[in-house]
Amino acid sequence: MSPPPPVPTVTDAAVTTQRRSLSRTLPIVVLLFTVVPLLVAGLLSLADSAQRLRRDQAERTRQTVELLAARVDQLAKSAQRTAASIAVSPPVAALPADEQAVSRLREELTVVLASHPELDHATVVDAAGRVVAQALRGGAPAPTAAPSPGAAADAPPGPLGGPTASAGEAGRGWRLRPALSGMDLVYPAVGGSSVIVGLPADALHESMRPAASQVEARLLDRAGEPIARTGPEQAVDEQDAVVAEAPVAETGWTVRLAEPLTGYRAALREEFLRFGALALAVSVLSAWAAWRFARGLAADVRQVARAARAILRGHYLNAHVQLQRDDELGVLADSFNHMSRELETRERERDVFGRLVSPEVRDQLLQGELMLGGHEVEVTVLLSDIRGFTQLCERMQPRDVVLTLNEYLTRMTDAVQRYGGYINNFMGDAMVVVFGAPKPDPHRVERALYAAVAMQRALADFNAERVAYGAPRLRMGIGLASGTALAGQIGSPERCIYTVIGDTVNIAARLEGLSKEHPRMIAFVNEATRALLPAPLAQLLVPMGEQQLKGRGQGVAVYALPVEADLPPAGAHLLREDTALEPV
C-alpha cells in the first residue's frame, strides 16, 4: 500500500502568533469612532451653553438694574410730588410770616411727613436760605421763631443744593441730618423760598436691594460719586463680574449693578458635570457592548481558526465548526463545514486512488500531466515471481491462498517502495516494478538492485514465520533489465492504466525464469543493467554467460547476484525521502 501523501503543515508560531486581540481593539475603535465625535459635539455644545449662560446673566443683570432704577425713580417722583404739594400750600405762599404762621407751617410739614413714610424730613427755607420750618421723622419740633437773617449768611449749601444749618442754628435746635445719611430734593416755591424733602437712607437701600445677596448695587450722582450702596460687605471686583447701568430719569442719578460670575461659573460647572456624566456613561456602555460583541466574535473566529489548523494537519473529522448564528459568520461556518466534508471525501478518494497507482502517478494524473499515449523513457524493470506457486495453490484452500499472497505482496511492496520503485502491476504472484518512471531517476539501477536484495531478505523473514506454524517455504525469482521502454496511459479514453511497454519488460520476465535453474542467485541482470552500476556493485555480479532466452532469436549476456554477495550499505540518496529504514 502506498503511503499517504504529505499533508501541508504550518508551524504553530505562524498560526497562533497574535499581536492584538479583537476583544481589546474593537472597543477602542468603537470609542474612537463614537465617543470622540460625542466629546467634540459635547464640547461645542458646552461652548454654546457658556455663551448662552453669559448672555442670560447679562440680560438678567440688565433687567435687574433697570428694575432698581425704576424703584429709585419712583421714590424720587413721590418725594418731588410731595415737595410740590408743600410748595403751593398757603403757609408757604404767605412767607415771610410771623411766628404763628411758622408754627402752622411746621404742623403742616409734620402732617405731610406722617402721611409719607418714604420721607425722613421736610424743610422750608426762605429766599436767603434760612430755615423757616422743618419736620423731622422721630425728631423734636422746630422752634417757632424764625432764625436771624445773618445766621445763615455764611452757611454753605447743603448736599446737592440742600442747606446745611450753621452752628448758631444748630445750637437753637435747628438741625439737618448728616450729608450722606440720605438724599435731599429741593423744589422751588413762590417768593424765592424752597421746599426741601429728604429721602432716608434705608428707603434708598431698600429700593436698590437686588434679590441676590452677592450682587452689589450703587447709586451714583451726576458726577459719578456714590450716594448709596447695597450688597456684600466686600466690594465686588467688576473685572470678574457682569456690570450694567440704568439712569434714574427724574434726578440724573445712575444705578450701577455688579453681579459676580460665580453663578455663571456654577451653572457652567453643572453643565460640564452633566455632560461629563453622560459622556462617561455612554463611553462605558459603548465599550462594554463592543467588548461583549468582540468577545463573542473573537471566540467564533478562534473556533474557525482551530478548524482551519485541523484541516492543515489533515484532521478533517475535527474540523467541524459549530456556530449558532444567522449572520455572515454563520454562512462562513456552514461553508467551512461543507469544505471540510468535501476535503475529507477527496482525501479518502485520493487515498483509495493511491492504492491503485503509485503516489507519483496519482499526483501527475490529478495535475493532468499524464495523457492518453506515451513517451520513451530509460527505465530499469524488476520482475519477481514465486517459484512453484501453482502447485502450492493446489494443496491450499482459496482463502489461505489469498491470505498468503496478500501477506507476501505486502512485504514485497514495503521492500520495493523504500527504494522508490513504482509497482506497475500485480500479475497473480508476480510483480512488475519500474525504476525511472514516471519520473526520471539517475540512480534507478542501484535502487533496483538494492530493492531485489531487500525483497529476498523480506522473503527470508516471511519463510521463518511460515516454518514456525508448519507452512512450506516460498521461493522467488527476480529479473532486472535496463533499457528503453514506452511509458504512458494505455487503454481507451473511458478506461486506461499507466504502464510501461517494451522489450525491456520482456527481458526482465525471461531473466526471472533463470531462477529455476540457479536457486542460489538473488537476481539476474542483463548487460545494460551491469554497465550502469557503479564499479563496487558491478564487481559483485557473477557472469552467467550468454543465455538463450525464450522468445528471442539472439542470446543475451546475463549476470547474477549470488546470495553470499556482501553489498555495501545503501546511501541515503537511494532511499525515499519519506522513508526511514536501516541501510541494506
| Span 318-358, pLDDT tens digits | 777 777 777 777 788 788 788 887 887 777 766 665 555 55
| Grid cell of 200 as nine digits | 432716608
Higher-confidence position of 295 and 144: 295
Q: What are phi and psi of 212, to 5 degrees?
A: -90, 135
pLDDT surpasses 60 at 453: yes
Quickly state the pLDDT bin for 363 (edges 50, 70, 90).
low
d(CA 311, CA 309): 5
Quickly state the pLDDT bin for 375 (edges 50, 70, 90).
confident
Q: What are phi and psi of 248, to 5 degrees?
A: -100, 105
Q: What is the model's pLDDT at position 7?
A: 44
Residues of the chain with pLDDT > 70: what percent? Answer: 81
Q: Show the CA angle centred on residue 357, arms to residues 475 and 530, nearest 5°.
A: 50
- If we measure between CA atoms, which residue out of 439, 422, 443, 419 comes closest to residue 529? 443
Residue range 270-294, pLDDT digits in tens:
888 888 888 888 888 887 887 877 7
| Grid cell of 470 as nine digits | 508448519
Determine the distance from the C-alpha atom of residue 439 to the mean position of all C-alpha atoms in its chain, rounded to a whole number. 53
d(CA 48, CA 331): 49
Residues of the chain with pLDDT > 90: what percent? Answer: 20
d(CA 55, CA 392): 119
> Where is mean pLDDT largest: 122-136, 179-193, 505-519?
505-519
- Residue 490 CB burial class (10 angstroms; 0-12, 13-18, ≥19): middle
pLDDT surpasses 60 at 49: yes
Q: H helices within 134-235, ranges in order?
A: 167-171, 201-207
Residue range 491-528, pLDDT digits in tens:
666 666 778 888 899 999 999 988 888 888 999 999 99
Q: H helices within 418-501, ranges in order?
A: 444-468
- Residue 256 CB burial class (10 angstroms; 0-12, 13-18, ≥19): buried
CB-based contacts of 468: which residues, under 8 Å, 6+ apart? none
d(CA 484, CA 299): 61
d(CA 270, CA 2): 82
**Which DSSP letter does residue 368 get?**
T
**Which DSSP letter does residue 139 get?**
S
Instruction: Judge if pTM exceeds 0.75.
Output: no
Q: Is the dihedral of CA 513, 515, 521, 522 positive or negative?
A: positive
Q: H helices within 469-583, ranges in order?
A: 503-513, 527-532, 535-538
Q: At what angle do helices 36-87 and 99-115 cross, to 10 degrees?
A: 150
Residue range 520-552, pLDDT digits in tens:
899 999 999 999 999 999 999 999 998 888 877
Average pLDDT (184-208) is: 81
Are 337 and 311 contacting, i.e. CB atoms less than 8 angstroms apart? Answer: no
Quickly state the pLDDT bin for 443 (edges 50, 70, 90).
very high
Are 286 and 33 contacting, i.e. CB atoms less than 8 angstroms apart? Answer: no
Residue range 414-434, pLDDT digits in tens:
999 999 998 888 888 899 999
pLDDT surpasses 60 at 142: no
Q: H helices within 149-200, ranges in order?
A: 167-171
**Domains detected in the chain:** 88-204 (no CATH), 371-574 (3.30.70.1230)
d(CA 471, CA 209): 131
Hey, which bits of 48-200 come out as E strands? 121-125, 131-136, 182-188, 194-200
Are 135 and 104 contacting, i.e. CB atoms less than 8 angstroms apart? Answer: no
Q: What are phi and psi of 261, to 5 degrees?
A: -85, 10
**Which DSSP letter does residue 327 get?**
S
Determine the distance from the C-alpha atom of residue 336 to the mean position of all C-alpha atoms in its chain, rounded to a whole number. 26
| Grid cell of 204 as nine digits | 434708598
Average pLDDT (147-165) is: 33
Higher-confidence position of 2 and 51: 51
Q: What is the model's pLDDT at position 541?
A: 94
Are 478 and 458 contacting, i.e. CB atoms less than 8 angstroms apart? Answer: no
